[in-house]
C-alpha cells in the first residue's frame, strides 16, 4: 500500500514499533483465521528480506510503501517508518492488506478474480474512478517493472489493470461499514437478476446502491475475522457460500508478487 499524505502534526511517537507490535498482536489474536505467515512490523525498509528489499528498491518504492501482502508466504509486512499520516493509519494499512488483498484473493480464487473485478469496474462508476486514480499514480511504473521481470506488455497491462481495481477495493475493505439488511437484500436481488441473464438492470442497481461491492468486501473480510471459508465457486453469477470449513488453496498458490 503506497504511503498516504503526511500529517501536519508529527504522530510517529504513537507508531513506535514496540507499541505498534502489541496493538497489531491484539488485533491478530482476535481473528479466527489470521494469515498463516503472520504479520511482521518492521521499522526501516532495510529490515526486510534481501530479495523483497531489492524488488521494492528496483521499483523505487522502498521509502514509500507502507505495507504489503505476500501471497506465496501468506504474510503481511508493515513498514512503520513509512506510515506517518495518523495514529490509526497502521491499522488501516493492515486491514487494507488482510481484509482487502488477502480476503479477496481467497474468496474469489484466480479464475473468478478477473471476471468479478472487471464486472464491478463496469457496474460501479465510483469504484472505477478510484481504480483509475490508483492507475494514474502507479500503473505505468508497475507495468514497466513487470516487463523488466519478464512479463509481456499485454500481460503486464492486464494484471496492473486488475490490481488497480483490487487496490480500490482493498482501500474500501480497510474501512468497510456494516452491511445492513436492506443492502444485503439488494445484493441478493442483483444476484438473482444476473442468474436470469439481466446484467443490464443489475449493473444499473449496482451503480446506485453498490450492494454487490459491499457484500463482496464483507465476505472477504469474514474469511479472516470469523473464519468463514469459501465453499466452492464464489464469483460472477454465483451467490457465495461461506459456511463450510473447506481449505483456502488460493492463499497457498497465489502469485509471489506482493500486493501493496
What nine digits make up the cell of 58?
A: 528496483
**Secondary element (H or E) of residue 114:** helix 103-123
Classify residue 144 as exposed, middle or buried by CB count within 10 Å of its CB (0-12, 13-18, 19+). middle
* pLDDT (tens digit per residue) in 77-136: 999 888 866 778 899 999 999 999 999 999 999 889 999 999 999 999 999 999 999 999
On the CB side of 242, CA atoms within 13 Å amount to 22
List, in sequence order, every residue forming a beta bridge with 259; answer none if it has no partner.
Answer: 69
Which contacts qualify for 126-129: CB closer than 8 Å, 24 or more apart? 126/210, 127/165, 127/168, 127/169, 127/172, 127/210, 127/213, 128/165
Confidence check: pLDDT of 247 > 60: no
pLDDT value at residue 151 = 98
**Secondary element (H or E) of residue 69:** strand 67-70
d(CA 112, CA 185): 23
* pLDDT (tens digit per residue) in 186-245: 999 999 999 999 999 999 999 999 999 999 999 999 999 998 755 444 444 444 443 333
Q: Where are the domains of the chain?
A: 12-94, 104-250
pLDDT value at residue 103 = 95
What pTM, to 2 d.p., does this model score? 0.83
On the CB side of 257, CA atoms within 13 Å amount to 14
Share of the chain above pLDDT 70, in %: 79
List, in sequence order, every residue forming a beta bridge with 41; answer none if it has no partner.
Answer: 78
Classify residue 133 as exposed, middle or buried by CB count within 10 Å of its CB (0-12, 13-18, 19+). middle
Amino acid at each position: 500500500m503506497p504511503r498516504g499524505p503526511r500529517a501536519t502534526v508529527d504522530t510517529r511517537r504513537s507508531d513506535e514499533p514496540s507499541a505498534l507490535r502489541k496493538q497489531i498482536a491484539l488485533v491478530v489474536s482476535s481473528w479466527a483465521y489470521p494469515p498463516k505467515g503472520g504479520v511482521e512490523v518492521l521499522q526501516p525498509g532495510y529490515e526486510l528480506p534481501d530479495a523483497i528489499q531489492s524488488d521494492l528498491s528496483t521499483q523505487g518504492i522502498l521509502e514509500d510503501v507502507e505495507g504489503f501482502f505476500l501471497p506465496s508466504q501468506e504474510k503481511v509486512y508493515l513498514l512503520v517508518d513509512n506510515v506517518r499520516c495518523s495514529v490509526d493509519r497502521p491499522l488501516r494499512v493492515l486491514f487494507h492488506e488482510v481484509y482487502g488483498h488477502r480476503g479477496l484473493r481467497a474468496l474469489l480464487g484466480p479464475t473468478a478474480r478477473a471476471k468479478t473485478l472487471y464486472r464491478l469496474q463496469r457496474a460501479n462508476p465510483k469504484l472505477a474512478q478510484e481504480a483509475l486514480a490508483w492507475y494514474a499514480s502507479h500503473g505505468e511504473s508497475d507495468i514497466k517493472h513487470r516487463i523488466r521481470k519478464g512479463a509481456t506488455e499485454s500481460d503486464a497491462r492486464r494484471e496492473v489493470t486488475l490490481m488497480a481495481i483490487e487496490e480500490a477495493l482493498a482501500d474500501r475493505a480497510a474501512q468497510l461499514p456494516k452491511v445492513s439488511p436492506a443492502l444485503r437484500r439488494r445484493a441478493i436481488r442483483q444476484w438473482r437478476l444476473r442468474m436470469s441473464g439481466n446484467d443490464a438492470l443489475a449493473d444499473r442497481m449496482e451503480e446506485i446502491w453498490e450492494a454487490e461491492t459491499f457484500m463482496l468486501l464483507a465476505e472477504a473480510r469474514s474469511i479472516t475475522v470469523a473464519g468463514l471459508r469459501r465453499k466452492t465457486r464464489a464469483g460472477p453469477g454465483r451467490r457465495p457460500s461461506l459456511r463450510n470449513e473447506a481449505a483456502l488453496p488460493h492463499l497457498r498458490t497465489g502469485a509471489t508478487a506482493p500486493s501493496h
